[in-house]
């Protein structure tokens, strides 16, 4: 079996081979599946990443949430300590800038720290997922730490991925957090009874 880093590198290469048209079309299908979920429709506060490097696109979900009076919360990556700080986003067109790590994050004056215990849904990116809810991320453990730190048992974590990122099994460790469901352009896989 491949090591986690070999698996990660192959999965990133597979994802990067998709054309921008494929990414856009598949992301649209994923968005439609997401907005069919009760947990999304009923949520007051949804945390989502902002896509980067051929990830599943999230702008449509952000716009949907804002137009339906939902709180949109985005992660700020703090590399010292490898933590995610949730921040409320009100206007994606004016409040964001590219961080030194190449990620879109709030400008300092628009950082509004949001209580992670008040999140209803967390949209989780990943390089690869499996049908048991395990994921392979970029290797820094930000989401594993964040998901494990939430005490609110009602929050639903939703991994979003292209079908080519979904595997029967991915390499994982005991401390890796799982997601409650995985949504691809072709299907919704519920790992537990949440959502």
Gap between the terminal Cα atoms of the chain: 33
5 marked among binding-site residues = yes
158 marked among binding-site residues = no
135 marked among binding-site residues = yes
31 marked among binding-site residues = no
7 marked among binding-site residues = yes
118 marked among binding-site residues = no
6 marked among binding-site residues = yes
8 marked among binding-site residues = yes
Long-range contacts of 150-156 (CB under 8 A, 24+ apart): 150/116, 150/117, 150/119, 151/117, 152/116, 152/117, 152/118, 152/119, 154/120, 154/194, 155/119, 155/120, 155/121, 155/122, 156/39, 156/120, 156/121, 156/122, 156/180, 156/181, 156/194, 156/195
139 marked among binding-site residues = yes
50 marked among binding-site residues = yes
4 marked among binding-site residues = yes
142 marked among binding-site residues = yes
Tokens of 86: 């949730």
Residues in binding site: 4-8, 50, 55, 135-143
Residues in binding site for ATP: 4-8, 135-143
Residues in binding site for substrate: 50, 55
């Amino acid at each position: 079996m491949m090591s986690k880093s070999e698996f990660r590198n192959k999965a990133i290469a597979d994802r990067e081979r998709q054309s921008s048209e494929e990414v856009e079309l598949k992301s649209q299908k994923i968005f439609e599946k997401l907005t069919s979920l009760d947990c999304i429709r009923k949520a007051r506060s949804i945390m989502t990443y902002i896509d980067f490097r051929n990830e599943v696109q999230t702008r449509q979900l952000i716009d949907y949430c804002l137009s339906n009076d939902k709180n949109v919360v985005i992660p700020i990556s703090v590399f010292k300590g490898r933590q995610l700080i949730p921040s409320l986003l009100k206007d994606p067109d004016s409040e964001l800038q590219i961080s030194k790590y190449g990620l879109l994050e709030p400008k300092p004056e628009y950082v509004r720290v949001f209580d992670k215990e008040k999140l209803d849904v967390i949209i989780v990116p990943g390089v690869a997922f499996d049908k048991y809810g395990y994921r392979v991320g970029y290797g820094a453990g930000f989401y594993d730490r964040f998901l494990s730190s939430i005490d609110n048992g009602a929050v639903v974590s939703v991994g979003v991925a292209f079908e080519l990122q979904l595997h029967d099994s991915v390499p994982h460790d005991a401390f890796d957090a799982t997601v409650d469901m995985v949504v691809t352009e072709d299907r919704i896989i519920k790992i537990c009874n949440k959502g």
